[in-house]
Amino acid sequence: MIVRILAEGQFDLSEDAVSALNELDAKVESAIGAGDDAAFHDALSALLDGVRTAGVPHDAEALDASDLILPMADATLAEVKDMLSGDGLIPG
């Protein structure tokens, strides 16, 4: 699977590796649900680290769409909420 971390690029991960990250994923979700900024930041960092560790950078010249897109490392809780609500993600 191809996973994009916004502002960082694409990574190739095996299906298993992606499944293994589900636990970290759940932590991010619950932090968003709870509106807990600090927990969100920690959980997102852990999830992105997991992607970077388990994945290898996808061919820079490939024009492939990603299967999964994750927020950038310094995204704030408010930004991610905005994106999920469909507002203000991409300018223009």
Partner 1 sequence: MSMWQRFSLIFRSKANKVLDRAEDPRETLDYSYQRQLDLLAQVRRGVADVATSRKRVELQVNQLSAQSDKLQGQAEQAITANREDLAREALTRKSALTSQIADLKTQQAQLQGEEEKLTLAQQRLSAKVESFRTRKETIKATYTAAEAQTKINEAMSGIGEEMGDVGMAIQRAEDKTAQMQARAGAIDELIASGALDDASSLNNGDDISRELEAMSSQTEVEAELARLKGGAPAPQAIESAPDAGQIVDAPSQAEQQAEPQAQAQGSTPPESGDPK
Q: Does 38 bind partner 1 (CB under 8 A)?
A: no
Q: Does 49 bind partner 1 (CB under 8 A)?
A: no
**Residue corresponding to tokens 């590796």:** 17
Residues 22/12, Cβ–Cβ less than 8 Å: no
Q: Does 13 bind partner 1 (CB under 8 A)?
A: no
Q: Does 31 bind partner 1 (CB under 8 A)?
A: no
CA distance 32 to 78: 9
Q: Does 25 bind partner 1 (CB under 8 A)?
A: yes
Residues in 62-91 at the binding interface with partner 1, rule: CB under 8 A: 62-72, 80, 83-84, 86, 89-91
